[in-house]
Structure 1
Amino acid sequence: MTVTRACEPITPLPRPHPRHWPSVTAAALTATVTVMPGFVVGALAPVIETGLGMSRSALGLALSSFYAATALGSPVAKRVAARLPVHVVLATAALIAAAVMLAAAQAEGMASLTTALVVGGLGNALVQPAAGRLIATRTPAHRRSLAAGIVGAALAAATLVPGLLVALVVPAYGWRTALLTAGLIALIPVALTPLARSPHRPQPAPPATAAPRRVGGTLAWWSVAAALSAAGNNAVATYFVQLGTDSGLPAVATGNLLALSALLAIAIRIAAGALTDRAPRRNPAVIASMMLAGGLGLALISAGTPVSFVLGAILAFSAGWGWTGLLLATALQLVPDSAEHAGHTVQVGIYTGATIAPFAFATLSGAVGHAPAALVCAAAAFAGAGAVVTGALLLRGRPGR
């Protein structure tokens, strides 16, 4: 008996990988470029509309197709991310993003542009489930909010490049060259994805303390919250340049402000992740507060003056988009043994809202103007904060008492 046990292979519990931050960085850079097609086309909307003879609603519908493909493709992407090596999934997603932006640069009309964006949305769907698995397998539990914050900063970083393209490339070289440049930038993370190699088993995490039904209900409420808040913020991010110019800012200044706001959003997400790792139970309250602050920023944007736009943009981008990484980390705490499911839940919510935003905002702003449309976005962000609180209360068993 003793000899048999001595000869049995010992499978130790996985330990935190000493180089988990490079892998998280590789995932974050990949997430940045895979969502860029939607933001780049949105930032270039005015010149693309003129160049291709498209209406604002038509371009909004094309943009919505990108986010719809991400949301609808997420269930399949979740299964793919669970079966294939993480670094292979991330490399594939980055290559798809590069090809999509290079194809969009050659678009001759709505059909070809929409087709490219749909393919890009499907590639983008691969990232969040893979990132959730990566964080669970490579990052110790007490650093997961920070890791998720770094990955979540990708959404903010994805608006940085379009802002720079609008300010630096479009005036001199046009929108097609700007898209070509974005496509070449998207190839950079491919070389870094080998850093994201990960083991198959997750790091030890605290066991779930709530009943499965309550966990499922909470995740559903948080997915709704992500959809509501993302709808408001994505609409403004997509049409940021148009909103800025309507408020009285020059297009180049608006592009620079978009880039500056993106940098601030990146810093806020990383800082929030680092701070909340010290008290992860407070994550839902922090997320709800960020959504409320983002709603206030959207309300300021609706005022339509240069000063209110600048203040509102900074607040909406820093706080209003700062919750995405925290939501992923909080979902991972609820389902530590199903990281792909956590990433899928957050992704479906965010991109469902993002699907609705471009076309709905374009249609609404065309009918009633940008100011009332921005107020509707603010109301959606406030409702999202309420949904986060509802999900947290459900988890504690308070509803129904």
Structure 2
Amino acid sequence: MNQRGLWPLVGRAIALDLNSLLPVGLTGALGVLIVQDLNAPESAGGMLVGAFFVAGAFFILLAASAIDRYGWNAAALAGQATTAVALLACAVTPHPWGLLLIGLSLAGMGSSISQPATSVLLTEHVQPRRRGFAMSAKLAAVPAALLLAGIAVPALGETVGWRASFAIAALFPLSGVVLLLRFRPVRTDSVLEGRRDVGELRRPRHRALWLAGTGMLLGSMLPGVVLAFMVPSMVDVGLTPGEAGLLFAVLNVASVLSRAAVAVLADSPLFRGNAAIMAMMTLGGLGAALVAVPALGTVLAGAFFAFTMGWGWTGQAFALALKTFTESPGGVASVMQSGGMAGSALGPILGAAAVHFWGLPAAWVLSASASVLGGLAFWSLPSPGTVVHRTREELA
């Protein structure tokens, strides 16, 4: 596949992922307005975001085999339609506020199947030598788009209201449904090299795959803690809330740039293995540990490493898992997605508990430990050739 054919595929994957993340992005950006309008407790925003990730993490484990059975296109179609329904349901949800938990849970289910489906899209239609770039580029653009949404959406919410914002957002996954009905690329044998025949696909059962999913869970706890507690940590060392918020936005840009850099380097020999993933997760954990030291210099240095290295590894992790466990790409992507969503939910929850009992530094020590352990989990994975060889022996 030439470069010209690569970008449309990556662009479609990015668009579908972004559509599926709109509900949680809107909830984060409009949380204050939602709480005020529904007379909800201050903790409601966190519970709504948590419902999105928890429901998604459990649902995709149950539906993992569906992507391989029915194909990525049908799975993504179901995910986009579910997201559209969830956005409209949130827009018309009456009091009490707890009913929104149902809408956000439904949205989490839609996202949990859309995102692994787009990973399978890139696995099936992008040549192996460019797959690392494609996967990292897909995941690099999502935080960039959510950052822009976080800046623009509050203004929209204050003019037309949060309910209208959810209703308008439903147009995006509906456009995704139209895109999926029109777009059905043809796979080539060279792209599918190393895959089993469709009739031999089954849910992956390698213990090492669950080790990769566990590494994804542990590593994904850090971004959640960063989102929840970075600004308070900056304020604690002397920055004003305005300065901390501005720096938080700048660090988000740095995170996007780090993912873009990883995408450019993803298919180079230096980045192809699991050592690069372990190194990035370890540096991210080091950054979190530095934030735990209550001094301006250490917090700023730690914030930089936590945002860049602590978030930069996810595309490589997906690419490595899909290359290592070739027998069922939909199931593999689902396990990784479930781990990522579970970690995104657990990070803020356990971090909040740590802050309650021991203070802000405890949340950073917790996330630092989880990130380092996640890196060790990826380091322990077998090489791709070993897993493929074992799979073929099982079939013999």
The TM-score by the shorter chain falls in which range?
0.7 to 0.9
2:193 aligned to which of 185, 205, 208: 205
Q: CA deviation at 1:43?
A: 4.9
Residue-by-residue CA offset, 1:172-191 (whole Å, 9 max, x unaligned): 77766665665556666556
Conserved in 1, the CA contact under 8 Å of 2:284 and 2:368?
yes
Q: CA deviation at 1:61?
A: 3.4
3-state SS, counterpart of residue 296 of structure 1: helix
Give the structure 1 partner of residue 115 of structure 2. 128
Q: 1:178 to 1:240 in 2, by over 3 A?
A: farther
Give the structure 2 partner of residue 350 of structure 1. 340
Give the structure 1 partner of residue 390 of structure 2. none
Q: CA deviation at 1:267?
A: 3.0
Q: CA deviation at 1:166?
A: 7.0
1:96 partnered with 2:86: no
Conserved in 1, the CA contact under 8 Å of 2:144 and 2:256?
yes
2: CA distance, partners of 1:51 / 1:246: 31
Residue-by-residue CA offset, 1:82-133 (whole Å, 9 max, x unaligned): 3445445434433433443454455544422211110011101112331232
1:143 aligned to which of 121, 124, 130: 130
Residue-by-residue CA offset, 1:192-233 (whole Å, 9 max, x unaligned): 54675233666143589xxxxx99232222111110110222
Q: CA deviation at 1:236?
A: 2.3
1: CA distance, partners of 2:31 / 2:310: 22
3-state SS, counterpart of residue 321 of structure 1: helix
Give the structure 1 partner of residue 15 of structure 2. 29
Conserved in 1, the CA contact under 8 Å of 2:214 and 2:377?
yes
Q: 1:331 to 1:174 in 2, by over 3 A?
A: same
1:116 partnered with 2:103: yes
Q: CA deviation at 1:17?
A: 9.7
- Which range moves more in the overlay, 325-334 or 125-134? 125-134
Q: CA deviation at 1:318?
A: 2.0
Conserved in 2, the CA contact under 8 Å of 1:61 and 1:359?
no
Q: Which amino acid in the other structure matches residue 117 of structure 2? A: A
3-state SS, counterpart of residue 311 of structure 2: coil
Matches within 5 A, 1:3-22: 19-22=5-8
Give the structure 2 partner of residue 332 of structure 1. 322
Q: Which amino acid in the other structure matches residue 119 of structure 2? A: G
2: CA distance, partners of 1:272 / 1:145: 9
- Which range moves more in the overlay, 131-140 or 87-96? 87-96
Conserved in 2, the CA contact under 8 Å of 1:268 and 1:322?
yes
Q: Which amino acid in the other structure matches residue 193 of structure 2? A: A
2: CA distance, partners of 1:31 / 1:287: 22
1: CA distance, partners of 2:98 / 2:3: 46
Give the structure 1 partner of residue 349 of structure 2. 359
Give the structure 1 partner of residue 289 of structure 2. 299
2: CA distance, partners of 1:44 / 1:245: 23
1:286 partnered with 2:276: yes
Structure 1 unaligned blocks of 5 or more: 1-14, 209-213
How well do the aligned residues superpose, as a CA RMSD in angstroms? 3.8
Q: 1:340 to 1:94 in 2, by over 3 A?
A: same
1: CA distance, partners of 2:132 / 2:368: 26
Q: Which amino acid in the other structure matches residue 205 of structure 1? A: E
Conserved in 1, the CA contact under 8 Å of 2:80 and 2:114?
no
Give the structure 1 partner of residue 392 of structure 2. none
Conserved in 2, the CA contact under 8 Å of 1:59 and 1:110?
no
Structure 2 unaligned blocks of 5 or more: 197-203, 388-396
% same residue: 26
2: CA distance, partners of 1:106 / 1:301: 41
Q: 1:356 to 1:370 in 2, by over 3 A?
A: same
Q: 1:115 to 1:284 in 2, by over 3 A?
A: same
Q: Which amino acid in the other structure matches residue 276 of structure 1? A: A
Q: 1:78 to 1:151 in 2, by over 3 A?
A: farther
TM (norm. structure 2) is: 0.79
Q: CA deviation at 1:276?
A: 2.9
1:67 partnered with 2:53: yes
2: CA distance, partners of 1:227 / 1:388: 11
Matches within 5 A, 1:130-279: 130-157=117-144, 159-165=146-152, 168=155, 189=176, 192-193=179-180, 197-199=184-186, 203-205=191-193, 216-238=206-228, 254=244, 256-279=246-269
Q: CA deviation at 1:316?
A: 1.9
Conserved in 2, the CA contact under 8 Å of 1:299 and 1:375?
yes
Q: Which amino acid in the other structure matches residue 55 of structure 2? A: A
Instruction: Give the aligned length.
Output: 378
